Amino acid sequence: MQLRNDRAELWAILPEALDTLSRLVEREPPALSAGPFSPPPQLRVGATTLIPIRGPIMARASIFSQLFGFPSAEGIALQLREALADAKTKMILLDIDSPGGSVSGNAELAEELREARQQKSIIAQINSLAASAAYWLAAQASEVVVTPTSEVGSIGVFIRHVDESGALQREGLNVSLISAGKFKTEGNPFEPLGSDAKEALQKRVDDKFDMFVDAVAAGRDVSVQKVLENFGKGRLVSAEDALSAGMADRIDTLDGTIARSGRRAVNASGIRTTRELESFLRDAGGFSSREAKAIIAEGFKQTPDLRDGAEADDAAALSAIRSIANSLNGGCHDQ
């Protein structure tokens, strides 16, 4: 991650977060670079796989991914694909607390997330901040849940230009750029930003902003106009305002969402017999066959007539089967 040369980089991040990140990078030794990237091990709670997205999001893994756990678009994509391929995973939960990040890689990841929700349900849990690029991703989930104190939004893109000519002059330095190509050096930091260069940079920003807005509209199934008018206009909004505007679907804690996702996973599994329940307990709950049988036996003390492996045609028996499974996925209930 080399933010020293970020003048050509398009950002979908809180400006103050970029400043903090830039100061951090200034202390990075020039030779320090990340080795081969491998995503962290999957964290699965019952049949729900959690993918953490915490901190600034870069296109690719960097030394900061290793040192601080900062996410990258490539890393999130790898974890997403693993969860989709995992038969034990019935639902995917994105645990998000991020100020956003670079535009590069984010649009592609957002599209992959939106397509992935056709295969498995994806919940974006905002666990206190989903700004800019982070909301870009969250909006692609099947459902967006925010904690009561969360803030979301900051839908926008920017690029920064630093005119270093005055500082160089004070140091007695004069930089000459030898180039070919009419616009090759426009926007360089060694001279004030010209009107043509500013117009070209603005076009780049506008193009990526349009991509951002289009993706949010598609993910939330609303019009582009609604995103432009009601989704904060570049500002962060509170949990209640996000819910009212249609930027989020529910206000709940991470624990509450995990519990509810367990209930959904059980229903999605279509469990109807004790044999299916035993298989579910082994595969999704991590219980041994002996433990699963003991759990079922205990759970069915109130339903003695249900035979092992029998079809649960009786509504009460079916409810009992699923209640047992649900109790092992967070003790949740429908809401």
pLDDT on residue 314: 47
Q: Are residues 300 and 249 in the same domain?
A: no
Check: CB of residue 282 under 8 Å from CB of residue 292: yes
Rounded Cα distance, 231 and 227, in Å = 5
The amino acid at 282:
R
List the chain residues with pLDDT less than 50: 1-5, 29-33, 302, 306-314, 329-335
Q: Are residues 139 and 277 in the same domain?
A: no
pLDDT per position as a tens digit, 290-306: 767 776 666 665 455 54
pLDDT on residue 332: 38
Q: Are residues 27 and 92 in the same domain?
A: yes
Q: Are residues 154 and 224 in the same domain?
A: yes
CATH number of 119's domain: 3.90.226.10
Structure tokens belonging to residue 104 = 């590069």
Q: What is the largest CA-CA distance in the chain?
A: 93
Residue 279 lies in domain: 271-327
Q: Are residues 21 and 101 in the same domain?
A: yes
DSSP 91-144: EEEEEEEE-EEESTTHHHHHHHHHHHTTTSEEEEEEEEEEETHHHHHHTTSSEE
> How many separate domains does the chain show?
2
Check: CB of residue 121 under 8 Å from CB of residue 144: no
Q: Are residues 277 and 237 in the same domain?
A: no
Q: Are residues 50 and 79 in the same domain?
A: yes
pLDDT on residue 127: 92
pLDDT per position as a tens digit, 173-199: 888 888 888 888 888 888 888 889 889
Check: CB of residue 9 under 8 Å from CB of residue 60: no
pLDDT on residue 333: 37
Within 8 A by CB and 6+ apart from 102, the residues are 9, 10, 11, 12, 13, 57, 58, 59, 133
* Residue 297 domain flag: yes
* Residue 170 domain flag: no
